[in-house]
Chains A and B, each alone.
Chain A
Amino acid sequence: MRKKSGLKLFLIIACIAILCYIALNGLEIGIYRIVPLAERVQQGLDLKGGLYVVYEADIAPGDPDRDSKIAGAIRVMRNRLDKSNQHEATIAPQGTNRIVVEIPGVDNPQELADILMKPAVLEFIGPEGDVIITGKDVKTAKPGYITGQKPVVHFELHPEGAKKFAEATEKYLGQVIKIVLDGNPISEPTVDEVIPNGQGVIHGMRDIEEAQKLATLIESGALPVELKQVEVRTIGATLGANALERGILAGIVGLSLVFLFMLVYYRLPGLVADLALVVYTLLVMLITVLARITITLPGIAGIVLSIGMAVDANVIIFERIKEELRAGKTLRAALDSGFSKAFSAILDSNVTTLIAGVVLLYFGTGPIQGFAKTLMLGVVVSMFTAIVFTKYVLRLIIDLNVQNKKLYGV
């Protein structure tokens, strides 16, 4: 019995030590390579820098097409982001009439934010003020150069648009067809010949970047609703990295203080609680990585906070055990009744924290949701480590015949 418990205890501690080592340093066995856990954590914008924009759509509250308009706008914005090579960007609806866009690490955040909200309504208008074709008729639009190195946009129309365009160029031969974007004429070419194949060029761009931008806008289509920016946050990469560093430092200091306190105040059980805290920290990080939870700055705060909360259950249990010991119970009996009597209070406490977490997750936006997620994760994981794990290890220790009650703080 005693030998077996000793072996189990040794194995548990060895396992934790190895897992800690792998989590911190990674591991390489032949072709298999495990990267350190910290490197796998998905960082939020506020840590790695980037752009966070909330757009508000101008839609009447009772509009029956509200949802489809928002979905349409998101599609168009996605197109524009993809064409600007921002594949890591995320777009999501928020509430009923808002859209949140998050783009990691951009150089020209404001410019990109502006492009995303451009209505991009393209119209070809004849001399009589009639709309000949619109952006919807355009199949492709590409930037390029024509003679004299002038930047232009080449476009190709869908068959139906091509037909309309052919008819119009025939009708207005020798006259001006205005090309208008969002009400601003960008080019006013004179029709030199009939264009039957639906291919043409738009002049009037200052440089190739402008041509690229216009081509992107035309190809990704017009927004079905009018958008305005109601919240823009840009986070510089240096500042994000600093916030991360300081957050980790706070975590290490907080963890050490809790460690020390538990050890000094509760001695042997305190040491076991500290071990449980190590397991807790490992599990939270592992779940964060596996469940692909993005860690934001408030998310780090949630984790650090939850370290302090995680040992609460242990404090409640250990105080109970002390009481039972003072009442004259044996160690094993005190341990069992300590755990079972403390359980309901611990469960109730954690449920109320979860209630607050759920409310926060539901009503909070952006980074605050990150906080709610890590807080709730922490509560659930700590229930396991503080109760199941601690109890198991303490039992093993008692089996080893460590009976000196002084070690248990009595």
Chain B
Amino acid sequence: MVYERGITEMNIDFVSKYKIFVAISLVIIIAGLAVMIFQGLNLGIDFKGGTVIYVNIGKPYSPDDIRSILSSQGIEATVVQVGDNKQDAIIRMRYMENQEEIQQRLIDALKEKYDLTDERFSVDTVGPTIGKDLTRNAILSTVISWVFILIYVGTRFEFKSGVAAIVALVHDVLIMVAAAALLRTQINSPFVAAVLTIIGYSINDTIVIFDRVRENQKRFGKKLSMAEIVNRSINESLTRTINTSLTTLFTVTALYVFGVESIKEFSLPMLVGIISGVYSTIFIAGPLWVEWSERAERRRLATAK
């Protein structure tokens, strides 16, 4: 295949231009953080507490009808029309003292208006105390997996490469959070699952390149500089970096397109994370390793003199 040969023989200088690529990422992350500071994240009930009522009405309806039921009962809530034929509704409300009673009244009213049975309702109520634990667990588990992966990659390769890999992972998580802030995605526990999965998955490509670097060091260690070796390794691994992520993108996209709401809450951040993972693998992890190795080398030479 001509195209295939084209890629393998490609020799793009990723290393020297890495500052541009880092800048691109920083712009996205800073924009996301700015939105987070001024608007906050769109946290769902898993974090904030509250009630989500999902109802399959099963026939065309107007969300305004539901809104008027809500206002007649004095309930503050949002209504979103979803589903294949726009026949489902998601009603979200904040946590209140007599939550149970309020939501039961609402459900009864909906049942009567649209002639529905219990089977068509899913009701999630989360108290305000759960969110704190979830937030703590989410942060804790993210940091713990970083530490474990740093230890693993550090022992399998060298400490500097482990740090470079972790920087790439932190980058991916920041991009995922920034994207969630910018796209206003609902953040519930599926988002946390997506972040942790990306932490475990997006490093795979990085490892493939580092493995190649290790091999090329043995082959060309004396003839080529670290930058040249890393560049060569990234170029040689380019097809597999893209193809491995592509197959996973296929299945995650299928989940996003066909899955129900909670699956979309998981697969959208996954899509962002996979793409960000490829980006950080090619443009950030390797070049960073070079940067540090060369810096250490310069320092060594300086002290030797």
A residues with CB within 8 A of B: 46, 49, 54, 56, 95, 107, 109-110, 228-240, 242-243, 246-247, 249-251, 253-255, 257-258, 261-262, 265, 297-298, 301, 304-305, 307-309, 311-312, 315-316, 319, 322-323, 326, 341, 344-345, 348-349, 351-357, 359-360, 362-365, 367-368, 371-372, 375, 409-410
Contacts and interface: CB of A to CB of B under 8 A. Distances in A.
B255 interface: yes
25 contacts: A109-B118, A110-B104, A229-B125, A233-B125, A236-B56, A242-B56, A246-B258, A250-B257, A251-B251, A253-B254, A297-B262, A298-B193, A298-B263, A301-B263, A307-B251, A312-B248, A315-B240, A316-B244, A349-B204, A349-B208, A355-B152, A356-B149, A359-B144, A359-B196, A363-B137
Nearest to A233: B124
Given A319-B239, A363-B141, A262 B247 contact: yes
B204 A254 contact: no
Given A110-B100, A232-B125, A355 B148 contact: yes
Nearest to A307: B251
Contacts, number: 223
A100 B59 CA distance: 35
Nearest to A350: B204
B197 interface: yes
The CB with the most chain A CB atoms within 10 A, among B237, B239, B270, is that of B239
- Looking at chain A's contact residues, the main secondary structure is helix
Given A237-B119, A353-B201, A304 B255 contact: yes
A250 B119 contact: no
B197 A312 contact: no
A305 B127 contact: no
Interface string B119-133: 111111111011001
Contacts of A357: 200
A24 B252 CA distance: 24
Given A49-B119, A315-B247, A375 B197 contact: yes
Interface in B181-233: 189-190, 192-193, 196-197, 199-201, 203-204, 207-208, 211-212, 215
Nearest to B198: A356
Contact of A261 (B124, B237, B250): B250
Interface residues of B, number: 72
B269 to A, nearest CB: 12
A374 B193 CA distance: 13
Nearest to A356: B200
A354 B197 CA distance: 9
Nearest to A253: B254
B254 A251 contact: yes
A242 B240 CA distance: 36
B276 interface: no
A46 B122 CA distance: 9
A3 B201 CA distance: 42
Interface string B136-177: 011011001100110011001000000000000000000000
Nearest to B212: A345
A115 B65 CA distance: 34
Nearest to A354: B200
Given A307-B251, A309-B201, 12 more contacts: A46-B262, A232-B123, A233-B124, A250-B258, A254-B253, A254-B255, A308-B250, A312-B204, A315-B240, A352-B204, A353-B200, A363-B141
B243 interface: yes
B267 interface: yes
Nearest to B250: A257
Contact of A301 (B100, B124, B203, B259): B259
Contacts of B204: 312, 349, 352-353
B44 to A, nearest CB: 13
A236 B57 CA distance: 12
A387 to B, nearest CB: 15
Contacts of B251: 250-251, 254-255, 257-258, 304-305, 307-308
B115 interface: no
Contacts of A239: 54, 56, 119-122, 260
Nearest to A343: B211
B60 to A, nearest CB: 18
B9 to A, nearest CB: 10
B202 to A, nearest CB: 9
A377 to B, nearest CB: 14
A95 B137 CA distance: 12
Given A298-B266, A356-B197, A375-B197, A364 B189 contact: yes
The CB with the most chain A CB atoms within 10 A, among B138, B190, B192, B259, is that of B259
